[in-house]
Structure 1
Amino acid sequence: MTPPPPSPWSRRTFLAATGGTALAAGLAETGTASAAPVAQAPAATEADDAFAALRAKWRTLILGEGFSPTAEPFRSKLATLGTQATGLRATMAPAAGSLWPGLGYADPSPDTDQESYGYSARMNDSFTRLSTMAQAYAQPGTGVTGDPALRDAVITGLDHLCSDVYSADAAPFGNWWNFQIGSPQALLDTAVLLRDQLSAEQLATYCRSVDRFLPDSAVAKYTGTSTGANRVDLCRGIILRGVVGDSAAKITLGRDALSPVFPYVTSGDGFYADGSFVQHTDVPYIGGYGAVLHDGLGRLFALLRDSTWQVDDPGSQLFLDTVEKAIAPFIYNGLMMDNVSSRGISRGLTEADAFQLPQDDHTRAHSVMASVVLVGRGASAEERARWNSMVKGWLQRDSYGPALRNPKLSLVNTALLQKLADDDTVKASPEPAEHRTFHNMDRATHRRRDWGASVSMASARIAHYEFGNGEHARGYHTGSGWLSWWGGDHGLAQYSDTFWPTVDPYRLPGVTVSKKLLPDGFGGDWGNPKPDTTWVGGTTDGEFGTTGQHLRGIDSTMTARKSWFWLDDSIVCLGAGITSADGAAVETVIDNRNLGASGTAALTLNGIPQPAAQGWSTTRTHTRWAHIQGHAGYVFPQAGGSRISALREERTGAWKDINAGSSPAPFTRRYLTLWQDHGTDPRDASYAYILMPGAGELRTAARALDPLWLRILANTSRQHGIRVPSLGFTGINFWASGTVGTVTADAPVSVQIRERRDGTATVSVADPSRSVKSLTLTWKRPVASVLSKAPAVTGARTGSALTLTFGDLSGSYGATHRVRVRTA
């Protein structure tokens, strides 16, 4: 991109336009880095001034504290910030309809939504640039610290925007977010940093502008765009408006308007009791809007703590609980799983990216990790200790994209994480061995000490994917049973290394799809296409899990039943009833490994090495097992093995292919894909395989040669079931009532039984379809007594068999109901 021409404005012009206000206290007039060894926020001008105290706190929350500007990584970050600010000041050229050439925000086509969105975004970008310049002015060690010309440029820019486009008598256009959230946040942050340099008239003008576009009515009702993360952002704007304008009423309003965010919801946007987080009605979004909500609430809690306006709502503890219920299960070794980031996974390099470092699952996790540390400061001592140990473990185990080497991570968040990393009193905790089912957003996570995995599904409640603002154009099959996994010391780059613009979108790992071609952005902006199926979810005992999906393809006649049984060292994957009439091939993708720009990985099929040449492909019948060196083993337990296809290929794509606002620069990555071809328009096709993350070739071969390890009890369109005797594990998905092995259910439910060496067993039951009004479940196994049972259990009969009766399960939203028994 060609940079805009330098601004013709001289320093004298800036001074004349702004009145030549004085420098902020404590900053050198020469514009050189501060000599102070540690960054400090200036104290409030009056000790008893509550508003000044809040401004001082917010200043610290913007700039960070407790770091040395001469030590890395802060020295480099501060220097980069200074360079950015200098470049912005040099190119700034206020004119009617723009503040920077090429960033015009005048909207000539108010009736054209897409163009209006772009123009309002440019206005927001202009405010954000001013905030960047203000931070460079206020931070030590930037090379422009305290530079009066930079200060004056920022103030002139604020005055220009608040008269030219964001004025009290102007009308909004384009994306509401830019007017109610993005622009006021950047404006108010900048006003806090330069508060002592602004006249009363200027402050009043800025506050009137914010009041015009962010009125009190924006938080009057908890509905529409004023829910979840958006609500927190709106409250932040109103609270900061009060902080800048010395309005107790505004601060009180914003604080009180947070309260509807805390209670768990049962539909729509917000956090659910099971840890799910949904935004835009039907999109799992913990890695996007959920992260924004956490960061926003963490900052507001920190701002208001110990003040007149401290957040004392008892419901705020529910928010604190989401750290372990909702955030932690989706962070694995320092990355945020992509299946809860929706459109965010398509945001790679922009055309003007200064670092040439795309956003990815690691960089998305870094700010969330910092927010966990910040939120922990207001939690109990026990919670704070657990969370700090958890975050430190993620910091230490991220071998691909360490947070403290992320040049895009803010100084504030870098300082929070660096302090934790340097604290020898905090011991890193390992990844837990746990399984979590998020039945309110069609996700499940499985975490072990040396690998982790997650599945992404869609239903009548949760969209296949979201397309909007030109983002996520080819994400249509991310809800078709996409099974993502990572190893403890391998696979951490699978989705990080330019995966999304280069992968075949019809061959995501784990999916069953019709190869019917779909247009980019199928469904249109915010269409959020959903299937009409309801049996999606599963059950768990907290360590192992049983998950199922009645899949209907996006814009397709293809249907399938898919199941995943989550064990100690593997995932057993079954599929049946695969039927389609699209006139297109249907495939189940066993795996699709990203090998990087030039990587290689040896592939063996039944122990026979396969060629390493790019473009090589094969289809082998009677495949009993496969192994990808450095990645995983795959076992095909059906009698005689399975007919498996394999392909090595180089694929080229650009971020702009999947996100209209990203860079057109091409990337090429190598892929090794394994899949099962069900043919064109299959009827009642099936598959079965065992995924063993991190397994070596010998362990994979041994599993394939052990006929007693796994018993497939059923793999039909009516039931899926397996038993693993050595683990005491039985898992069954009843798509319809019936008998599988020793278990009979008279309703469509998910059942899991774990028999333990101490003579006890746990029976876990869920109603994924949310349609079961009553259930009788029989396990033909001698049982001596019932040790504990869920409230939904209305009767239990023991003896030569266990018979459990359940009441209405339809209102439990797919949650698990557990019964613990002593076997005879």
Structure 2
Amino acid sequence: MSPAWSRRTFLAAAGGAALTAGSLFPSSAASATAADPYTALRATWRTLILGEGFSPTAEPFKSRLADLGSQAGTWHDSMTPATGSLWPDAVFADPDPDTDAESYAFSAKIVDSYTRLSTMAQAYSQQGTGLTGNTALRDAVVTGLDHLHAQVYNDAQTRYGNWYSWQIGAPQALLDTCVLMYDALGAARIDAYCAAVDHFVPDSAVGSYTGTSTGANRVDLCRVLALRGVVGASSAKLALARDALSPVFPYVTSGDGLHSDGSFIQHTTVPYTGSYGSVMLGGLGMLFALLKGTQWEVTDPRRQIVFDAVEGAWAPFLYNGLVMDSVAGRAISRGLTSTAPDAVQQNDHLRGHPILASIVLLGQGASATENARWRALVKGWARRDYYSPPLENPTLGLTALSRLASVLDDSSVTALPEPTGHRLFTDMARATHRRPGWAASLSMADRRITYYETGNGENLRGWHTGSGMLYWWGDTYANGQYSDAFWPTVDPYRLPGITASRKALADAAGGDWGASLPDVNWVGGVTDGQRASVGQYLKGLSSTLLAKKSWFFLDDTVVALGAGITGTDGAAVETTVDNRNLGPTGGSAFTVDGATKPLAYPWSATLTDASWAHLAGHGGYVFPGGATVKALRESRTGSWRDINTGGATTSVSRKYLTLWFDHGKDPRQASYAYQLLPGADAARTAARAADTTWLRVLANTDDQQGVSVPSLGLTAVNFWFGGTVGTLVADNPCSVMVTEHPDGTATVCVSDPMRMRTNLTVTWNRAVAAVVSKPSTVSSATTGASLRLVFGDLSGTRGTTQTVKVRLA
């Protein structure tokens, strides 16, 4: 099972509100007064959770410290020890909970209670909080720890509710507090608290790399064990924590962890780079820093895999400070959890900033070259976050703030621009495409990767996020597209890029924890690192919908094709070209074939034989050969509670412009074609539509989908079945992309998205003089009037691109 308590909320409170700066006490191992290693380790951990290197009288730190003191004062004043609770609004015990959900909620309040004590301990330890060194606050923290130990978190208690609360959430907050309040606790308390941790987190918790002890969860457990060793002066616990990290480092070939293509998966089937992956990255950075230079230092050479993953796994999903929602799983539904006036709505930007801070911390243990490059990347991401500047992030802890501020203020660091290129993550059915001025991300699903994840009452309507959802952002425009109350207000049946049945689905349809997996193999494609041909054989969630969908990611456009669209649910089927969140006001002009449409809400129209459309401030859409498309301006209202049982009930409204193909009720072999041009103005959109020779749609059927762009020297085909399309011939299903270069060479990219070809022959009917390079999977390459490539067993290539370079005749 997975935690009811939001990891992000917990980290923001325990590792975030905790992550402050300027401690009242020694702030580094070097300044520890005692010679024993545990004193030094406590000093190091204090620095990691309190921060250093900033002035408590400088903004934004001054205000944050004051807020920390204010919050701690509130917790202090309202603390009322009683049977089953430490605060009246945080009841953690019930002798007979009525439901599993109640039991989960009670266990979450244990974490909540320890987190509040941790906040109080931080206010006591930090300079500038107004409660620094306050003896009454100190005594209240000790009283609270004693009460929780006596009431619930002790070595005689049987756990209930969510495992996470007992093994990760509560002990992490408890042990952080023990480090901060160590001198006030005494040996007897320390022994008792450590015994409780040993009871709930025994050595066997990391005995095997399975179940809830993998990936980010394993790193969290190792943090608990390491801090147990620090607080309880146990060399054995520290050694166990260090050694238990090693299974996290190697690439995995299935399920949880880092994959060699940069995929990060948690809960077996869920792409989670931006949520659990963030937790893992931050946890590893802290543990590497804690143990560095000690007898327990992490020296496993495979830790380099984690360093390599900064740019191989995380950077592709970071864009101008945000982390893409396509790899955030259930976290997309955790926008607003309180109706309080000062409540903060979580979003992709606020989730991205902790990752930037973690990269800065991790860099301290990497090579000098890596550290310098990462700092330059972070500076660029942070500077370009115009929508939500990181130093104004109200959920970001002061330690993270101080790390980012140190990079932004470092004149020796030159900000790097956003990298360009395409990354295809075949192991998690995701792709990212980055061009000057914009970026896009594609979410798909197959028999290994779920349509979406729901669980603990979260992400109840994420049903179609894996049905070909195409996200895109501009560099200085539309950066808040999915940040500003998008998820509770968007029509979940009309997510951008998807093909979906309008068949009504129940909340959490398909099952919890990524249980819903489509029975399809052909999902993936090819890329040369700059352009790509990607396809998805789509089967609808809990519906009869079938479709073949292809995307061709090019220099200034994404070409989208759909074919074989069929359904028998008695419901309409639609393909959403785009669904743009226009904010509360929705003032963007919408133009179709040169005619500006009414700026009214609601407004709808059927656009017959439309050639192009343009949405001011966003981009353009081209419909090759003309198409009938529906358009709708509407104001949509919802609440975070609608999509997350822990969400706020406050209604929010946003205005949308939606474009879609209506394939009708129970369609048979329907199709579509369009171009997306992010950032294009109306003139460029119209010009692309008028240039009918720029793009040639070579095939758009249930058997093959392919395009050619002569000016780019590009031909790309997704062969759902073998056949001939243009100059390309394949004898079995595969994906092929050929690019001719001005220097007389060409690149031929081939993949087996189905991961089952034991032989494949691809022919390019173009005169080729010689093969310059080829992978070992090519058993035969014949040149001359045409190029004939015979591939051997591709089933073990995991759908990755096989690249052949040739010299043209």
The question of a shared fold, defined as TM-score above 0.5 by the shorter chain, is answered with: yes
Contact 2:22-2:55 at 8 Å conserved across structures:
no
Relative distance call for 1:109 and 1:716 in structure 2 (3 A) is farther
Where does residue 560 of structure 2 map in the other structure? 573
* Equivalent-residue separation in structure 2 for 1:535 and 1:108 (angstroms): 51
Where does residue 645 of structure 2 map in the other structure? 660
- Asked if 1:271 corresponds to 2:251, the answer is no
Residues 738-765 of structure 1 deviation map (CA, whole Å, 9 limit, x = unaligned): 0110010111001111111111111111
Contact 1:334-1:366 at 8 Å conserved across structures:
yes
Q: Which runs of 4+ in 1 moved over 4 A?
A: 33-45
* Equivalent-residue separation in structure 2 for 1:53 and 1:354 (angstroms): 42
* Equivalent-residue separation in structure 2 for 1:39 and 1:597 (angstroms): 49
* Equivalent-residue separation in structure 2 for 1:38 and 1:407 (angstroms): 25
Structure-to-structure mapping, 1:607-686, within 5 angstroms? 607-637=594-624, 639=625, 641-686=626-671
- Asked if 1:712 corresponds to 2:684, the answer is no
Where does residue 288 of structure 2 map in the other structure? 301
Residues 504-534 of structure 1 deviation map (CA, whole Å, 9 limit, x = unaligned): 1011100000000001111233253111011
* Equivalent-residue separation in structure 2 for 1:354 and 1:303 (angstroms): 38
Counterpart selection for 1:813 from 798, 801, 807:
798
Residues 768-791 of structure 1 deviation map (CA, whole Å, 9 limit, x = unaligned): 111111011100111111111111
Identity %, equivalent residues: 60
* Equivalent-residue separation in structure 2 for 1:227 and 1:359 (angstroms): 26
Residues 587-612 of structure 1 deviation map (CA, whole Å, 9 limit, x = unaligned): 00000000001131111111111011
**Number of positions where the alignment pairs a residue of Structure 1 with one of Structure 2:** 790
Where does residue 411 of structure 1 map in the other structure? 398
Counterpart amino acid of 2:273? Answer: I
Q: CA deviation at 1:385?
A: 1.4
Q: CA deviation at 1:355?
A: 3.4
Residues 336-386 of structure 1 deviation map (CA, whole Å, 9 limit, x = unaligned): 000100100000112265732211000000000000111011111111111
Counterpart selection for 1:197 from 179, 184, 207:
184
* Equivalent-residue separation in structure 2 for 1:498 and 1:608 (angstroms): 30
- Asked if 1:66 corresponds to 2:63, the answer is no
Counterpart amino acid of 1:767? Answer: D
Structure-to-structure mapping, 1:689-704, within 5 angstroms? 689-704=674-689
Q: CA deviation at 1:471?
A: 0.5
Where does residue 781 of structure 2 map in the other structure? 796
Relative distance call for 1:245 and 1:37 in structure 2 (3 A) is closer
- Asked if 1:606 corresponds to 2:593, the answer is yes
* Equivalent-residue separation in structure 2 for 1:176 and 1:717 (angstroms): 47
* Equivalent-residue separation in structure 1 for 2:22 and 2:723 (angstroms): 76
Structure-to-structure mapping, 1:739-818, within 5 angstroms? 739-818=724-803
* Equivalent-residue separation in structure 1 for 2:739 and 2:805 (angstroms): 10
Contact 1:37-1:68 at 8 Å conserved across structures:
no
Q: CA deviation at 1:112?
A: 2.9
Counterpart selection for 2:437 from 437, 450, 454:
450
* Equivalent-residue separation in structure 1 for 2:143 and 2:178 (angstroms): 12
Where does residue 730 of structure 1 map in the other structure? 715
Counterpart selection for 1:142 from 118, 129, 150:
129
* Equivalent-residue separation in structure 2 for 1:528 and 1:653 (angstroms): 27
User: Alignment partner of 1:627: what SS?
Assistant: strand
* Equivalent-residue separation in structure 2 for 1:451 and 1:527 (angstroms): 30
Counterpart amino acid of 1:256? Answer: D
Q: CA deviation at 1:40?
A: 4.4
Q: CA deviation at 1:813?
A: 1.0
Structure-to-structure mapping, 1:82-121, within 5 angstroms? 82-109=69-96, 112-121=99-108
Contact 2:420-2:436 at 8 Å conserved across structures:
yes
- Asked if 1:225 corresponds to 2:225, the answer is no
| Structure 1 unmatched ranges of 5 or more | 1-32
* Equivalent-residue separation in structure 1 for 2:801 and 2:455 (angstroms): 34
* Equivalent-residue separation in structure 2 for 1:58 and 1:378 (angstroms): 16
Contact 2:528-2:749 at 8 Å conserved across structures:
yes
Contact 2:501-2:571 at 8 Å conserved across structures:
yes
User: Alignment partner of 1:440: what SS?
Assistant: helix
TM-score normalized by the length of structure 1: 0.94
Q: CA deviation at 1:180?
A: 0.3
Structure-to-structure mapping, 1:385-534, within 5 angstroms? 385-526=372-513, 528-534=515-521
Q: CA deviation at 1:42?
A: 8.1
Structure-to-structure mapping, 1:268-417, within 5 angstroms? 268-351=255-338, 355-417=342-404
Contact 2:24-2:126 at 8 Å conserved across structures:
no
Counterpart amino acid of 1:752? Answer: M
* Equivalent-residue separation in structure 2 for 1:196 and 1:277 (angstroms): 41
User: Alignment partner of 1:661: what SS?
Assistant: coil
* Equivalent-residue separation in structure 2 for 1:465 and 1:39 (angstroms): 46
User: Alignment partner of 2:73: what SS?
Assistant: helix
User: Alignment partner of 1:278: what SS?
Assistant: strand
* Equivalent-residue separation in structure 2 for 1:602 and 1:710 (angstroms): 27
Contact 1:39-1:67 at 8 Å conserved across structures:
no
* Equivalent-residue separation in structure 1 for 2:29 and 2:555 (angstroms): 53
Counterpart amino acid of 1:410? Answer: G
* Equivalent-residue separation in structure 1 for 2:466 and 2:661 (angstroms): 19
Contact 1:127-1:183 at 8 Å conserved across structures:
yes
* Equivalent-residue separation in structure 2 for 1:166 and 1:457 (angstroms): 42
Q: CA deviation at 1:187?
A: 0.3
User: Alignment partner of 1:810: what SS?
Assistant: coil
Range with bigger deviation, 212-221 or 757-766: 757-766
Q: CA deviation at 1:102?
A: 2.0
Q: CA deviation at 1:111?
A: 7.3
Residues 644-694 of structure 1 deviation map (CA, whole Å, 9 limit, x = unaligned): 110000011111111111110111100000111000000000000000000
Contact 1:109-1:115 at 8 Å conserved across structures:
no
Where does residue 808 of structure 2 map in the other structure? 823
* Equivalent-residue separation in structure 1 for 2:21 and 2:49 (angstroms): 18
Counterpart amino acid of 1:768? Answer: P
Counterpart amino acid of 1:276? Answer: S
Residues 457-485 of structure 1 deviation map (CA, whole Å, 9 limit, x = unaligned): 01111000011111001100100100000
TM-score normalized by the length of structure 2: 0.96
Q: CA deviation at 1:237?
A: 0.3
Structure-to-structure mapping, 1:550-569, within 5 angstroms? 550-569=537-556
Contact 2:23-2:51 at 8 Å conserved across structures:
no
Where does residue 14 of structure 2 map in the other structure? none
* Equivalent-residue separation in structure 2 for 1:52 and 1:285 (angstroms): 36
Residues 77-108 of structure 1 deviation map (CA, whole Å, 9 limit, x = unaligned): 10100100000001101111111002111133
Residues 724-750 of structure 1 deviation map (CA, whole Å, 9 limit, x = unaligned): 011111111000000110010111001
